[in-house]
Chains A and B, each alone.
Chain A
C-alpha cells in the first residue's frame, strides 16, 4: 500500500522528468530536422530540373502519408537491417526527424521560390555572389514561410514524440501508455496535458522567434509602429539563435553520452511492471538491488523482440507466455519468492460435486499435470501468427499426450446431466476451459455447457456463486487478493490454504488441487545470456548486476 502511495507522491516529479525528456526528444529531432530540411529545401528550390524538384517533394510527402505507428515500425526494420539497436533513443529520434522533414522542406522551397525574380536580378546586378544573394536576400525574405513550416513541424513532433515511447525512447508517452494499459485516467491526463501545453507553448514561442527573425521591412506591425531599428538585427538574432541551438544540442548530447556508453545489463519493462508495487519497486526491495541502467519503458509487443535481438537483456513477462520459448528466452526462477503465487486452480461449486460425484476424480486427474513449459507451448500454438491452432485442438492434443484421454475414445452420451464450464477471455483461459470440458465429456456421461470467454474475474466468480457456472479455473493470487481482498502471501501453500478455507466457508465453493503451473510475473532473459553468465535465478541476475557495477 505504501508503495502505491509512494508512486503517487512521485507522480509530480515523474511528470517533470518525462516532460524534460519529451522536450529533449522534440528539440533534438527538430534541430536535426531543420539542419537537414532547410538546406534540402534550398537545394531543390535552386535545382532547375523540374523532375528532381517534384520527385524530392513527393517522396517526402509520401513518408508523411505513412501512419505514424507504421513509420516507427518501419524505422525499426531499417535499424535492424543496418544492425543497429532497434529500441531506444536513436530509432525514436530517427522516426521523429523523418516525420518532421516535410513541412520544413516544402516551406523552405516555397519561400525561396516565391522571391521575385526581379529582386534577385537586382541583387545580382549589384555584384552579389550566389551565396550573398541567398543569405542577404532570399533567406531573409523567406523567413516567415520557413518559420511557418517549422511551427507546424514542431507541433507534430511534440505529438508524435508521445508515440516513440513505444520503442523505449521515453517521453510523456510513457505515462499515457501506462495509463491506457492500466486504465488509470490520471496517468493519461498526466501525460497528455503536459504534451498539449508543450505544443501550445512551442507554438507561441516559435511565433515570437518568427517575429524577431523576420526583417521589420516585411512585417506589418513593425512598419506601422514606426519603431527605431533594433540592436538585434535579424542577422545577429539568427547567429544568437544558432549559438543557442548549438549549445543546447551539445548539452543534451553530453548528457546522453555517459548512459549510452556505459556497459552493463540493459533492462526494459512494460510501463505497468515499472509502476506496480508488486512489480519492479517491490522486486528492488526484496532482492535489495537496482539495475545500473534506468529500465526502458517498452510496449509488450516490442519487448520480446527487443530482448531477442539483444537491444535489451532483461524484460518482465508472464511465466506462461508463449512468446518466452518462441523468442528463445527463458524465465528466471524467483528464488526469493517475491512475485505472489498465481497457481491455476479449478473452482467448483460444492452443490455440483454433490450432484455429480464423478466430477471429483475427473478434475483431480489434471492436478499437477500442466507445467509452465507446457502452458507456454500451448499458449504459443494458439497465439502464434503462423498456422495457429484453436484452443480446443491445443487442449485435446495435450490431453492425449498426457494419456488423460485416448486417441480413439469417444465422448460420453451426455445423459447424466449438464455442467456449465466457464473461463475468462484470454488464450490461456480458453485452453484450460476447453481442456476441462473435454476431460469431462470423455470421462463421464455429463453434457458440458461451455460458457467461455467471460469478461473477467468478477463475472466468472459471480456466475459461479449464483449457479450459472459449475466450475472454472482461477489463480491462487487472484482468489486471495482480488476476490477475497486479502494481502499478498508469498508461500504458495499458505496462499492456497487461506483461499481454500475462505471459499469453502463463505461461498461453499471448493478449490481443488492446482493444475501445476504458476502464471505470475517473471524476469526473462535470452537463453544465450542465461548460459553465458550462468544466470538461472533472479539472485544470479542480482549478483551479475552487482559485479558489472564494479
Chain B
C-alpha cells in the first residue's frame, strides 16, 4: 500500500489515537554497536513527544528509523497502524516533515525554492507552491517579498532555522521529525524560536517527534518526554511527572541540581492550590497574560514585567480572578521544600 494512503493529511483531533508506534525496535550497527535497544513507544496523534538523552544515547538513530534513513535491525515501526517497512521509502519520506540541527538548507536554492522542494516532488501546481511558500514565511514573520528570493547565506542563523522548520511543515505532513532543531542557535535566539514554535504548534496541532539533549527545552516543548540512555527508555512521562517523580536513580541524576528550576517550569497554576481574589482589571489585556496553564516561571515573569501587586488570571476572555504576588511567592517557597 502506498504511503499516501496510509497518511491522511487531515489531522484527526482524536488525541487518544496512536499515530506512530515502535514495537520492540532495536538497531545494531554493522560494527556491532547497539544504538537502540528493544524500544517500545507510542506517539499519540497531535502530541509533541520529546526524545531526551545525553549525546550518543540513540535519539537520532531512533528518529531516522521513522523515515527509514536507518533501517531497524529488528522490530517494527507502525505509522497509522501500517508497517512502514512495506512502504516505498521515497513516498514515505515525502509525507514526513524533517528538520535538523544543521538546518540543511540547500545553499544553491533560494529560500522559496528550499521550502518548495517537497511540494515540487509531489508535483503541486506553481500557484499552489507559491501561495504555500508565502503563507509559511508569513507564519514565521519573514516577509515573503523580502525573503523569497534570498539565498541561505544571506540569512542570519535564526532566520535560516525558521526556514528549516517551515520547510518541514511545507506539505502539512501529519508527523514532523525534529532533531535538535534549535541546537545551533545562541541562547536568546533559541528561546525566541522555541516560543514562536510553541505558538505555531498550538495553531497547527501536529504530531511531533522532537529530539533534544537539553532538559529545559524538553520540558518546554514536550507534551511527554522519553528519557533515553544507551538506547533504552529510562522513563516516559509528562514533563511534570518526570521532574517530580523520577522513576530511577538514573533519572534523578540526569535531572541533577536542575530539579527546582525545572519544577518552576513544569508546575502550572492549575496544579497548585492557589486562591484567587477579587481585584480591579487593568485597562487592557496584556500580551502575556496569565491563565491556569501558566507555569510558575511564566507567572513570575509576568509580575516582573507588569510591576503590579496582583494580576488577573484568564480563561480565554473571562477573568477567573486575581493572583496576589505574596501568594505566588509563598507557593514558590513551598515548592522549594518539596523538591
User: With A121-B69, A228-B149 as given contacts, are A127 and B94 in contact (CB-CB < 8 Å)?
Assistant: yes
How many residues on A have C-beta within 8 angstroms of the other chain's C-beta atoms?
24
Determine the chain B residues whose CB is within 8 A of the CB of A123 once the complex forms: 106, 117
Please, how many angstroms separate the alpha-carbon atoms of A540 and B102 in the complex?
Answer: 82
Contact of B106 with A125 in the complex, beta carbons under 8 Å: no
User: With A125-B69, A127-B91 as given contacts, are A216 and B151 in contact (CB-CB < 8 Å)?
Assistant: yes
Please, how many angstroms separate the alpha-carbon atoms of A228 and B151 in the complex?
Answer: 11
Determine the chain A residues whose CB is within 8 A of the CB of B90 once the complex forms: 127-129
Contact of A118 with B106 in the complex, beta carbons under 8 Å: no
Please, how many angstroms separate the alpha-carbon atoms of A234 and B107 in the complex?
Answer: 14
Q: Which residues of A from 108 to 165 have beta carbons under 8 Å from B?
A: 118-119, 121-129, 132, 137, 140-141
- The list of the 5 closest CB pairs from A to B, nearest first, reads A127-B94, A122-B104, A215-B108, A127-B93, A217-B151
Enumerate 29 A-B pairs (CB-CB under 8 Å) in ascending A order. A118-B102, A119-B106, A121-B104, A124-B69, A124-B93, A125-B67, A126-B93, A126-B94, A126-B118, A126-B121, A127-B90, A127-B91, A127-B92, A127-B93, A127-B94, A127-B118, A128-B90, A128-B121, A141-B107, A216-B110, A217-B106, A217-B108, A217-B109, A217-B152, A217-B153, A218-B107, A223-B151, A226-B154, A229-B149
B94: nearest residue on chain A (CB-CB)?
Answer: A127
Asked whether any CB of chain A lies closer than 8 Å to the CB of B210, the reply is no
Determine the chain B residues whose CB is within 8 A of the CB of A215 once the complex forms: 107-109
Please, how many angstroms separate the alpha-carbon atoms of A215 and B151 in the complex?
Answer: 10
Contact of A118 with B152 in the complex, beta carbons under 8 Å: no
Contact of B121 with A118 in the complex, beta carbons under 8 Å: no
* Minimum Cβ distance to chain B for residue A211 (Å): 14
Contact of B104 with A119 in the complex, beta carbons under 8 Å: yes
Determine the chain A residues whose CB is within 8 A of the CB of B109 once the complex forms: 215, 217
Determine the chain A residues whose CB is within 8 A of the CB of B175 once the complex forms: none
Among B93, B117, B152, the one with the most A-chain Cβ atoms within 10 Å of its Cβ is: B117
Contact of B154 with A223 in the complex, beta carbons under 8 Å: yes
B154: nearest residue on chain A (CB-CB)?
Answer: A223
User: With A122-B98, A126-B93 as given contacts, are A140 and B110 in contact (CB-CB < 8 Å)?
Assistant: no
Contact of A218 with B118 in the complex, beta carbons under 8 Å: no
Among B69, B104, B152, B153, the one with the most A-chain Cβ atoms within 10 Å of its Cβ is: B104
Asked whether any CB of chain A lies closer than 8 Å to the CB of B219, the reply is no
Asked whether any CB of chain A lies closer than 8 Å to the CB of B100, the reply is yes
**10 more A-B contacts (CB under 8 A) besides A121-B104, A125-B67, A137-B106?**
A118-B100, A123-B117, A124-B69, A126-B121, A127-B94, A127-B95, A132-B121, A216-B108, A218-B107, A229-B149
A132: nearest residue on chain B (CB-CB)?
Answer: B121
B92: nearest residue on chain A (CB-CB)?
Answer: A127
Please, how many angstroms separate the alpha-carbon atoms of A428 and B303 in the complex?
Answer: 115
User: With A124-B69, A126-B94 as given contacts, are A218 and B149 in contact (CB-CB < 8 Å)?
Assistant: no
How many residues on B have C-beta within 8 angstroms of the other chain's C-beta atoms?
25
Contact of B117 with A218 in the complex, beta carbons under 8 Å: no
B111: nearest residue on chain A (CB-CB)?
Answer: A217
- B residues sitting closer than 8 Å to A (CB atoms) are 67, 69, 90-95, 98, 100, 102, 104, 106-110, 117-118, 121, 149, 151-154
* Minimum Cβ distance to chain A for residue B125 (Å): 18
Please, how many angstroms separate the alpha-carbon atoms of A128 and B92 in the complex?
Answer: 11
* Minimum Cβ distance to chain A for residue B163 (Å): 13
Contact of B110 among A129, A217, A226 (CB under 8 A): A217
Contact of B100 among A122, A216, A223 (CB under 8 A): A122
Determine the chain B residues whose CB is within 8 A of the CB of A234 once the complex forms: 108
Please, how many angstroms separate the alpha-carbon atoms of A129 and B118 in the complex?
Answer: 12
Contact of A118 with B118 in the complex, beta carbons under 8 Å: no
- A residues sitting closer than 8 Å to B (CB atoms) are 118-119, 121-129, 132, 137, 140-141, 215-218, 223, 226, 228-229, 234
Determine the chain B residues whose CB is within 8 A of the CB of A137 once the complex forms: 106, 108
* Minimum Cβ distance to chain B for residue A311 (Å): 49
Please, how many angstroms separate the alpha-carbon atoms of A141 and B151 in the complex?
Answer: 14
Among B91, B107, B118, the one with the most A-chain Cβ atoms within 10 Å of its Cβ is: B107
Please, how many angstroms separate the alpha-carbon atoms of A228 and B121 in the complex?
Answer: 25
B100: nearest residue on chain A (CB-CB)?
Answer: A122
Please, how many angstroms separate the alpha-carbon atoms of A129 and B93 in the complex?
Answer: 10
* Minimum Cβ distance to chain B for residue A270 (Å): 54
Please, how many angstroms separate the alpha-carbon atoms of A475 and B108 in the complex?
Answer: 74
Contact of A125 with B154 in the complex, beta carbons under 8 Å: no
Contact of B110 with A229 in the complex, beta carbons under 8 Å: yes
Please, how many angstroms separate the alpha-carbon atoms of A126 and B115 in the complex?
Answer: 11
Determine the chain A residues whose CB is within 8 A of the CB of B94 once the complex forms: 126-127
A129: nearest residue on chain B (CB-CB)?
Answer: B90
Please, how many angstroms separate the alpha-carbon atoms of A223 and B67 in the complex?
Answer: 34
Please, how many angstroms separate the alpha-carbon atoms of A386 and B69 in the complex?
Answer: 69
Determine the chain B residues whose CB is within 8 A of the CB of A126 once the complex forms: 93-94, 98, 117-118, 121
Determine the chain B residues whose CB is within 8 A of the CB of A132 once the complex forms: 121
* Minimum Cβ distance to chain A for residue B170 (Å): 9
Please, how many angstroms separate the alpha-carbon atoms of A129 and B92 in the complex?
Answer: 12
* Minimum Cβ distance to chain B for residue A136 (Å): 8
Please, how many angstroms separate the alpha-carbon atoms of A141 and B105 in the complex?
Answer: 13
Please, how many angstroms separate the alpha-carbon atoms of A113 and B100 in the complex?
Answer: 22
Please, how many angstroms separate the alpha-carbon atoms of A140 and B151 in the complex?
Answer: 14
Please, how many angstroms separate the alpha-carbon atoms of A32 and B247 in the complex?
Answer: 69
A141: nearest residue on chain B (CB-CB)?
Answer: B108
* Minimum Cβ distance to chain A for residue B136 (Å): 15
B108: nearest residue on chain A (CB-CB)?
Answer: A215
Contact of A223 with B118 in the complex, beta carbons under 8 Å: no
Please, how many angstroms separate the alpha-carbon atoms of A226 and B95 in the complex?
Answer: 34
* Minimum Cβ distance to chain A for residue B53 (Å): 21
B164: nearest residue on chain A (CB-CB)?
Answer: A122
* Minimum Cβ distance to chain A for residue B77 (Å): 16
Contact of B108 with A125 in the complex, beta carbons under 8 Å: no
Please, how many angstroms separate the alpha-carbon atoms of A527 and B95 in the complex?
Answer: 78
Please, how many angstroms separate the alpha-carbon atoms of A118 and B90 in the complex?
Answer: 18
Determine the chain A residues whose CB is within 8 A of the CB of B153 once the complex forms: 217, 223
Contact of A127 with B108 in the complex, beta carbons under 8 Å: no
* Minimum Cβ distance to chain B for residue A130 (Å): 10
Please, how many angstroms separate the alpha-carbon atoms of A215 and B102 in the complex?
Answer: 21
Determine the chain A residues whose CB is within 8 A of the CB of B69 once the complex forms: 121, 124-125
Determine the chain B residues whose CB is within 8 A of the CB of A129 once the complex forms: 90
Please, how many angstroms separate the alpha-carbon atoms of A223 and B152 in the complex?
Answer: 10
Please, how many angstroms separate the alpha-carbon atoms of A234 and B149 in the complex?
Answer: 15
* Minimum Cβ distance to chain B for residue A229 (Å): 5
Please, how many angstroms separate the alpha-carbon atoms of A119 and B93 in the complex?
Answer: 15
Please, how many angstroms separate the alpha-carbon atoms of A257 and B172 in the complex?
Answer: 58
